[in-house]
Copies of this chain bind each other. A is one copy, B any other.
């Protein structure tokens, strides 16, 4: 690609907040169980709210064989002024920069999973087959997000089956209670619930 950028239109830079570096342990840390990995996603969601850097959603991509973290993601919608800045989308984008390919499932890639503190919305669901991940691990249900007023969008009722039919394993309800508590704490504290237009 030509490295010449438009001078007429602005750019959008997606970057993780600095607190992520101190929240995460040494890059060589191994997270052997799915609960260990979900604790990272939930911790990212919790710290994102605490640090005022976005909504109560966290995600992380792990190597399915080494169980090391590849890339975290947090919701950045309001601070980046980008409606696409959901935790899952950010994790995909950052992992793709690290591994230098738009296809995390391509030849020579490690087998990767996305662990997300809440089940994906309609956009993040649709983005998942393009990402190249092999497994999607979810904490809170989309009904838990809806219960505090977040809109998960017009999703296929059979979204789990739709991913599995494309070779993406879906694991649900990992630390669902703990993941839901982050959502409930956010709502109780008066956090912004941004949604699509409905009028």
Provide the A54-95 mask, 1 if CB < 8 A to any CB of B, else 0: 100000000000000001100011111111110001001110
Q: Which of A149-199 contact B (CB under 8 A)?
A: 151, 153-156, 159, 162-163, 166-168, 194, 196-199
Contact A130 B84 (CB under 8 A): yes
> How many copies of this chain are found per oligomer?
2
Contact A5 B14 (CB under 8 A): no
Q: Which of A96-141 contact B (CB under 8 A)?
A: 96-98, 100-105, 121-127, 129-132, 134
- Interface residue tally on A, bucketed by range: 35 or more
Which residue of chain B is the closest to A83 with respect to CB atoms? Answer: B130
Q: Which residues of chain B have C-beta atoms less than 8 A from A105's C-beta? A: 196-197
Q: Which residues of chain B have C-beta atoms less than 8 A from A92's C-beta? A: 82-84
Q: How far is the CB of A118 from chain B (nearest CB, A)?
A: 15
Q: Which residues of A contact B (CB under 8 A)?
A: 1-2, 4-21, 24, 27, 51-54, 71-72, 76-85, 89, 92-94, 96-98, 100-105, 121-127, 129-132, 134, 151, 153-156, 159, 162-163, 166-168, 194, 196-199
